[in-house]
Amino acid sequence: MKNIYSNIFKVNNKNLSNAVKYLKKNELVGVPTETVYGLAGNAYSDISIKKIFNLKKRPKKNPLIIHYYNKKDLINDVEVNQKFLKLYKHFCPGPLTFILKKKPFSKISNIATSKLNTVAVRFPGNKTIRRVLRELKLPLAIPSANKSSGISPIKAKDVYEEFGMKIKFILDGGSSKIGIESTVLDLTKKLKILRPGFIGVSEIKKIIKSNIPLVKNQKIIRSPGLLKKHYSPGIPMKLNQTSAKPTCAFIIFGKKYKKNKNTFNLSRSANLDEAARNLYTILRSIKKKKYKKIHVVKIPNIGLGIAINDRLKHAAY
């Protein structure tokens, strides 16, 4: 019998160089990062970028994050500034995405940036994706490897669940350590957090000592993930609940609620890091179990709880 996961490859030298070969040929590769799994394509190639948008069914207006090995590689593509340099030194490689100005002769595909004059750049910390970037010597556009508006994958098998054999190559680097997407920080005008993530406002403030608002209800879509339905299991979901009928999935946190067949605990020890890591896996399994409704208890809106609540709010949209 044919192995159904015949496009999932473990990390070794041979498979890494094959992944690099695919990317050089403008094919897409499923890759691990420390936040979530991504769908990687050559950021300089319109062909690759079109494949990403088509496969994800992603609206053309939603730009991609460009992933680099290190800051030297940015030189022809974006303008850096002092705040970027300070934050880079402190947090990179890691789960922080910067919005910077695109240089006029940048080679980044205009389709990848949705024709904006800005670029989202990130330097992922995961060892495997760093090895790929180092060997490839090209930047990669890497959105989360899920169909647009769906649940982000945190394992190679989740990527397979999303796209099956439509991608030829998925690198299996184990579960994503963080489990929730990077923080997106706009450094082009006034500092703004466009998407909360693992790195919090207070940590960023400590490094650059400025006030940073979290953008809510923006009129222009600058980070579409912030506005529309997103991270969604496609099941009606209610937040800040204290109970649920047995036919309704009940997402709980801590020890206050009784364990039951329909309960899914984000973290029994009320640990927000653990809750972030479990969030998408729990949403995926609720979807598979075909529940018709989801209730979620109140999650503390501090630290990583801010990013978790952001994802829950969009999932409930």
Give contact residues for ligand TXA (rule: CB under 6 A).
33, 35-36, 38, 62-65, 95, 97, 99, 113, 116, 118-120, 122, 124, 142-144, 181-182, 184, 194-195, 222-225
Assess contact for 40 and 29: CB atoms under 8 A: yes
- Choosing from 33, 62, 144, 188, the residue that interacts with Mg ion (CB under 5 A) is 144
Is residue 126 near Mg ion by the rule CB under 5 A?
Answer: no
The least CB distance from residue 143 to Mg ion, in Å, is 5
37 to 66: interface string for Mg ion, x by CB under 5 A: ------------------------------
143: buried, middle or exposed (CB in 10 Å: 19+, 13-18, 0-12)?
buried
Between 16 and 184, name the residue whose CB sits nearer to Mg ion.
184
Assigned token pair, 194:
């466009």
Assess contact for 39 and 27: CB atoms under 8 A: no
36: buried, middle or exposed (CB in 10 Å: 19+, 13-18, 0-12)?
buried
Scanning 13-21, 113-121, 143-151, 234-242 for contacts with Mg ion by CB under 5 A, the matching segment is 143-151
Between 166 and 259, name the residue whose CB sits nearer to ligand TXA.
166
Rounded to 5°, angle at Cα 108 from 104 and 114:
90
Between 148 and 241, name the residue whose CB sits nearer to ligand TXA.
148
Q: Where are the alpha helices (DSSP H) in 79-155?
A: 82-91, 127-136
Chosen from Mg ion, ligand TXA, none, partner binding at 36 (C-beta under 5 to 8 Å by type): ligand TXA
Between 146 and 262, name the residue whose CB sits nearer to Mg ion.
146
What type of residue is 115? K
The least CB distance from residue 120 to Mg ion, in Å, is 12
- Upstream peptide bond of 93 is cis (omega within 30 degrees of 0): yes
Given CA atoms 34, 39, 45, 46 in this order, what sign does their dihedral have?
Answer: negative
**Is residue 66 classed as helix, strand or coil in its secondary structure?**
strand
The least CB distance from residue 246 to ligand TXA, in Å, is 34
Dist CA 176 CA 7 (whole Å)? 19
Residues 6+ apart with CB under 8 A from 21: none
Assigned token pair, 36:
């979530």
Between 11 and 116, name the residue whose CB sits nearer to ligand TXA.
116
**Is residue 294 classed as helix, strand or coil in its secondary structure?**
strand
The least CB distance from residue 127 to ligand TXA, in Å, is 14
The least CB distance from residue 211 to Mg ion, in Å, is 28
162 to 191: interface string for Mg ion, x by CB under 5 A: ------------------------------
Between 184 and 296, name the residue whose CB sits nearer to ligand TXA.
184
The least CB distance from residue 144 to ligand TXA, in Å, is 4
Chosen from ligand TXA, Mg ion, none, partner binding at 309 (C-beta under 5 to 8 Å by type): none
Scanning 142-150, 214-222, 244-252, 280-288 for contacts with Mg ion by CB under 5 A, the matching segment is 142-150
Token pair 């953008």 in the structure block, residue:
215
Phi-psi region of 192 (alpha: psi -120 to 50; beta: other; left: phi over 0): beta
* Residues that bind Mg ion in the complex, under the rule CB under 5 A: 144
